Structure 1
Amino acid sequence: MALEMRERCERCETTVLALGDPARICSYECTFCVPCADAMHDVCPNCGGELVARPTRATVTA
């Protein structure tokens, strides 16, 4: 099962999160930009879980 790489912050909904941009996620893949995650003290408002750095995905070249 692949990690869903969401493109928008779930809190401010305006920040576009490209695959290479830093973001924070919880174990349920809720996704937030770094400023929003910092404002929430790295606690997911949806599940109460810890927000951690989203892993990077290697770029696939054809």
Structure 2
Amino acid sequence: MLLLKPNCECCDRDLPPASADARICSFECTFCADCVDQVLNGACPNCGGNLVPRPIRPAALLAHRPASSERVLAKDGPCLERRPAA
């Protein structure tokens, strides 16, 4: 079952479970469509695999199989410049 991570690992943008802008690789690394297109050139920076639209879990099933709340962020690379200042 997909984790449905809550954020873009590049820019930290929120990606709720129903977001049509979420992209994932086969390892479930998660990025927003803007970062995939503008920074990552369609490839996951972690594994090199392609990034595709993340499936949307039906809202009725989220109560029993909730999305992850653990935020994940890239630690290096071009993504660091895309994050808001802390």
- C-alpha separation in 2, matches of 1:3 and 1:19: 10
Measured after TM superposition, the shift of residue 28 of structure 1 is 0.1
* 1:1-62 to 2 correspondences below 5 Å: 2-13=1-12, 15-22=13-20, 23-39=22-38, 40-60=40-60
Structure 1: tracts of 5 or more residues without a match: none
**Off by >6 Å, runs of 4+ in structure 1:** none
- C-alpha separation in 1, matches of 2:41 and 2:52: 11
Q: Which has the larger radius of gyration?
A: 2
State the Cα deviation string for residues 26-51 of structure 1 (Å, max 9, x = none).
00000001100112121000000000
Aligned length: 60
- C-alpha separation in 2, matches of 1:7 and 1:59: 15
2:69 matched residue in structure 1? none
- TM-score in terms of structure 2 length: 0.65
Higher relative contact order (CA 8 A, sep 6+): 2
**Larger fraction in helix:** 2
% identical aligned pairs? 48
CA RMSD of aligned residues (A): 1.5
The residue type paired with residue 17 of structure 2 is L
